[in-house]
Amino acid sequence: MITLYIIGSIFFFVMSLINPRTLWRVTSAWQYRDPEANEPSDLAYGFGRGVSLVMAIVFLLVALGQCSVEREREARYATEPTPTKTMTEQEIRALRKAEENPEPYHLEEDGVARSLHSDPGKGYESGYIAGYRGDPSSSTITVVYRLSPCTHLHTAWADERYPGEGVSIRMYEATDGKKLSKGCPKKERNRPLLRSKKLPLLQPLGYRDVRVFHGSTLERIADR
């Protein structure tokens, strides 16, 4: 934008230098009832040519300097390496640990397991996570949960791949309904039992948030 303004100014001064009389008639003559009587003298035109020449040279030098600065800036950006984030050893370990465990949609789409949340389910799928126990200096976390006596815990682990999200708890209960419903009285299905599972952490728990994976924050339960 600045460069275009400079170029426009140079054009104006060049016109003042080449044909100041025409420029005056186009830009100023309309202000007077008798333009010829108010037209500048030859001396004034000569003085204007001198001023226009000096200003044209000044603006030309400014334009060249501006172009040089922009070229240097583009060259610097082109040669600067793109910054890349280096993964810490802890993040690498967390990623490898997560890759060893199946993703939730694989378990649920295959009908193998159901992801536990902080809200109870129904029937033999009535399990839910109630909270957790853990000392800030401990490298383990004990997840407290409830499951129907008709089912069992399929798999569980603590996901620490995303430091900004704290510790994400992934727990899944078995959901093979046909097998689970056999030999399990209906009255037992909606009576989930309190259980706990100790999960290892890659580093001490500290004061990180503990939450259900893609869910709400879990409440810390005081040790008895």
Q: Which tens digits make up the pLDDT trace of 45-68?
A: 778 778 878 887 887 787 777 777
pLDDT tens-digit series, residues 184-206? 666 666 677 889 999 998 888 98
Q: Cα dist. 88→85, 92, 95, 127, 140 in Å?
A: 9, 6, 11, 36, 21
pLDDT tens-digit series, residues 132-182? 999 999 999 999 998 877 778 888 888 887 767 789 998 888 876 555 555
pLDDT at 104 over 70: no
- Domain positions in the chain are 2-79, 89-212
Mean pLDDT score across all residues of the chain: 76
Higher pLDDT, 79 or 34: 34
**pTM (predicted TM-score):** 0.52
